[in-house]
Structures are given as C-alpha cells and as structure tokens.
Structure 1
C-alpha cells in the first residue's frame, strides 16, 4: 500500500490541502477551502480527510505566521491551535508546522524547468546557497543551504531591513514614506500595499491627487497605460525589486540562485521580465560582474507552498529531494 502524508498551505483566506506520496513525492487530491467556513483548522482538516476517506499518519502544514512555539496563532485569521493537541486529535505520528516562506524555500529543489523562468545570470552552483524573496501582503525572505545531502531552510525577517534608495526619485520616495511611517523598510515598498505606497508618493511628488487605489488597481492601470503615475509606480517597483534581490545575492553569495515568489509579480509577469529589474539587480558598482553571474528565477508553479510542505515532510522522513 502506498504511504501518504497530509500537507497544507494555510493563508488568511484559503487553506489548501493535499496528500503526498512518501516514495515519489507525487501530490494528489488537492482541495481548497475557505477558512471562514470552519471554526478551526482541525475542522477543515477533518472535512478534507472525510471527503477523500484517508487517514495519513504524518502531516506538514505551511502557515503565514510564526511557527516556533507549540501555540500557533495566525496573523491574518482567527485560527489558533496547539501543535501537540492537534497532533493527538488527528492521531498523527509526526506533525510539522512551518512558516510559509520556509515552505517556499523547500519547494525550490523540487521545481521543474516548466515551473520557473530564468532572468539572466549563468548556471547555478548546485552546492551554493540559495535565496528566495517574494512580495505579497508583506515581503517574505528565506534562504536554503545544503549540508550532507540535506536541504536546510533558514527563516529570517529580511523584508524588514531598511530601504536603501538609489536614484534621486527614490530619495524623494523615501522622504515621503519616512514622513508617513518614520522608519521605512523594504516591505513598505516591495509588497502589495507597498505598490500603493509608491503610487501615493509619486502623486505627492508630482502634485497630483491620489485615488483610493488597491494594489490590483495600480498594476492594472499601469499595465494598460490608463494612469501614467501607476505606470511609473510599476516601473519603480520592478527596479527596486532588482536592487533588493541583488543585495540579498551579495549578502548570501547566492550562486545557487535567487528565486522570486509571491502573488504580486504574478499579476504582471511579461512587464516584469521586460523591465529594468535585471539591470538593477546587477548594478552593484565594483561587484556588478559578481552579481551578473548569479541566476534569478521567477517561480511560476501553481502550488509552491504545497510542494514545499511535501518536500519538508519527505526529507524529515528520510527521503532524498531533487
């Protein structure tokens, strides 16, 4: 009988659940439920297991919140639970709860060529460190290294590092946002809300009234050319994504590759690929040649969170990845 484990990718709006085959890593029976329809995560899981009539003995959940303690409390939803109590209630032999960007980093060794797009650089060094970042509601950052045949994810809060302007216009952007927030982190710019912050700063700089736009409005109106300030905001966003990615590459020596995840860039992939992103990634003065060799990949996989949870579970059970 094929042994399977339960995996979950848990966000503030939806929970995605699936099974992963221990031996092959194949993911099957993917289901998505709205979190608001269940009083607890355990109720959602029991509904899923009843639907597929399975009783796995291992599980790995990827959740967008801190996961270092037994008590897990979601940042963008009301669900909270005890890891140990949930393990007992679901009769699991093994139960891992990991951060969503830990899962994203663990997905990287499992990505196929069709699940990523290379943006410049040379071939990867398979033994070198890897970094991943991604703008969504916030700005996630994580790293991945190999040691004795195992992949070790390194969680961090790199999105909260200080924003460093490059151009005079970015200095003006920083000044505006400093007046609003005091301290300006990269997340204030490289995220969905950050895209709106850039737009509103540009409206102030150009002395034009700002509309009550959401991130999707800024990207849509920028892509269509309907709003020239939205277009400029989109261009600056891509440039600053490049600068930040290059900084991460320098700090880690990420010759294993720099990967981009998150939902924001997925809204304008073609524009991003044609933007000034790569030039800004490499624009590092004396170390421009150094960065020019480092490949960047845009992740296009539909379920990187589930892939990463599956990879984490399988590695903990002793299976080789990649």
Structure 2
C-alpha cells in the first residue's frame, strides 16, 4: 500500500496535475466519489512558474479549495526543488504548501501517471496496432513521444499494480540499415550521443526531417512537428514522408526492446498527442515489422499487442485512480511526499 499516511489515503479535495514540457493539465477531485472538475489546458510558457499558474489558471476559477495535490511532472523527482527537463518551471513542494495552502503534496514522474492510466482508462480508449490478446495480469510498458520521450513499466504484484518510472527515453539509439547509416550522421547529438529523445519526440521528428534533407541534399521546408506530420500523412513532401517512416520504425524498435525487457504480455501502450496523430503511420506494416524484428524471439514478439491510448486526459485519469483507490496500486512516496508542518 502506498505510504500516503497511516491510513494510506489522501485528504480531499485533491488537485491532480500532469505537467509536461509544453502543456500542463489540471483537475480537482472534490471527494472520493464526485466527478473531477476539469480546467483548460495551461501552456507552461504563459506563466513564469507553476505556483502562479495554479493561482491564476486553476484556484482563481473555483470555490473548491484542494487540501492535497498529486502532481506528475516530466523530470526525475529528486530533492525539494525539481526542475522540469523541457521547460523552465521548478517545482518546490514546500513553497507550494506555504503559498497555496495545501496540507500535503505528492510528486510523481509523468510516466508513472501514464502507467496508472493504463489501468484506469479501460479498453474504450485504446486503438490496437497488431499482436494477440493482452494478458490482463501481465506486465505492461508505456512510452510516449511528446515534448520529450517518456517511458514507464507497470507490473502486477499480488493484488496491486506497481508503476516503474524511469528515464528510458534517454537510452542510446543507433543505425541499423544502410539508409540509417546515411541519415544518422546528420542527426543532432547531445555530447556525442543520439538518444531516443533526440529522435522520438516533437523536436526529434524535426531533427530527423533535417537529417534526411541534408543526406539527400534537399531543402527542408518545414520547421514544426505538426507541419512535417501533416505533409507526411498527406504524402505531399517526400522528405517529410521518409522522416515519419524513420520515426515510426525507430519507435517500433524501441517499443520492442522495452517489451522484451518487461516481457510485456499485457501490452505496449503508446500515449501522448503525437501517437494519437500518427495512428495511420503506425498502422503501416513497418512499425510492427520493426517491433517484431527481435531474433531469436520474433515469434514471441508477434503475439505481444501494441495499443495507442486515445484518452485526452489519460495521466489525470491515472492520478485520479491513485487518489481515489490507493489500495489498487503500490507507489513508494518516500522522498516524494511533503506535508505542512
């Protein structure tokens, strides 16, 4: 049982928040059984810090005053000051308690919340991309290209689900095919490395697009992930088409690697806005081919299902499930749970 307090529960009302590099989404759970109060998405660039964003965009718009906050953030959770990886916000739970009046604050990794959502949202928000039936009791993997690349596992232990957060989006990615060896030298690196996040996120798609253009000596017309995706799906720009093909192939390779690591017979779940927008490309056989190309275990891989999660607020649903039914999950909150003095 999670170590929230002696009874294993949070104090309601509970504010839940999913804070990424570009957008932050919030809701308030007035009580354990009441429906969530949802708020418009907050652009992180519109506010200098999270406390001001909460004051102006959330708390000023409701008379419900949350006693607890459970926030999922796109960064490793370490210490009393947690700097987000892909935006200038820093989360300071002790300052938040003093300034906003919370009795307690719990900070989770953003993909811990996405892993919780796999259990919370149900099959009505899934698009299947091949494979056999998911084992409902088996381990699962969640990964999502967005502003960055998030990864988490979800394992079953007795009667509870245990999310396994990490920084799997920063693993090495390398070339495999002859075409890869032509394109990869032109991909922007971080300290000499090509990580998953340098390819499999919004800026990663732009990175790939520019690399393909340079490799072929062609102009790169588009500068945004949305523009590249739209041109690729419309088949109006060959460079964009190939960039998205490489993106999908490398996403399949990484998803397959993670499926092997977790032996995820419960499925691999692709989440986030990019995955939802490129479902037609993911249905292209190249994704499953890359996912399954894991000799000597290709036969095993053919049976593992992949799903795109289509719930628009999946992480908030996962956090809500944790707040309402903590006994369903085991989440160690030591070092990630702050209380008012």
Q: Which residue is 1:174 aligned to?
A: 184
Q: Determine helix, strand or coil for the equivalent of 2:187.
A: helix
Question: How do 1:280-319 residues align onto structure 2 when only pairs under 5 Å count?
Answer: 280-316=290-326, 318=327
Shift of 1:171: 2.4
Instruction: Output the CA distance in 2 between the equivalents of 1:113 and 1:25.
Output: 22
1:27 maps to 2:36: yes
1:204 maps to 2:214: yes
Q: Determine helix, strand or coil for the equivalent of 2:173.
A: coil
1:247 maps to 2:260: no
For residues 16 and 209 of structure 1, do their structure 2 counterparts lie closer, same or farther at Cα, with a shift above 3 Å needed? Answer: closer
Instruction: Output the CA distance in 2 between the equivalents of 1:129 and 1:218.
Output: 34
Q: Which deviates the most, 274-283 or 115-124?
A: 274-283
Normalising by structure 1, we get a TM-score of: 0.88
Shift of 1:130: 1.0
Q: Which residue is 1:140 aligned to?
A: 150
Q: Between Structure 1 and Structure 2, how many residues are aligned?
A: 319
Question: How do 1:31-50 residues align onto structure 2 when only pairs under 5 Å count?
Answer: 31-47=40-56, 48-50=58-60
Q: Which residue is 1:184 aligned to?
A: 194
Q: Could you list the runs of 5+ residues in structure 2 that have no partner in the other structure?
A: 1-10, 331-341
Report if aligned partners of 2:292, 2:298 keep a CA contact under 8 Å in 1.
yes
Instruction: Output the CA distance in 1 between the equivalents of 2:83 and 2:108.
Output: 13
Q: Could you list the runs of 5+ residues in structure 1 that have no partner in the other structure?
A: none
Q: Which residue is 2:272 aligned to?
A: 262
Normalising by structure 2, we get a TM-score of: 0.84
Shift of 1:180: 8.5
Question: How do 1:57-68 residues align onto structure 2 when only pairs under 5 Å count?
Answer: 57-68=67-78
Q: Determine helix, strand or coil for the equivalent of 1:105.
A: helix
Shift of 1:51: 2.0
1:195 to 186, 205, 215: 205
Report if aligned partners of 1:239, 1:275 keep a CA contact under 8 Å in 2.
no
2:24 to 7, 10, 15: 15
Report if aligned partners of 2:86, 2:148 keep a CA contact under 8 Å in 1.
no
Q: Which deviates the most, 84-93 or 233-242?
A: 84-93
Instruction: Output the CA distance in 2 between the equivalents of 1:259 and 1:239.
Output: 16
Question: How do 1:10-159 residues align onto structure 2 when only pairs under 5 Å count?
Answer: 10-20=19-29, 22-24=31-33, 26-47=35-56, 48-159=58-169
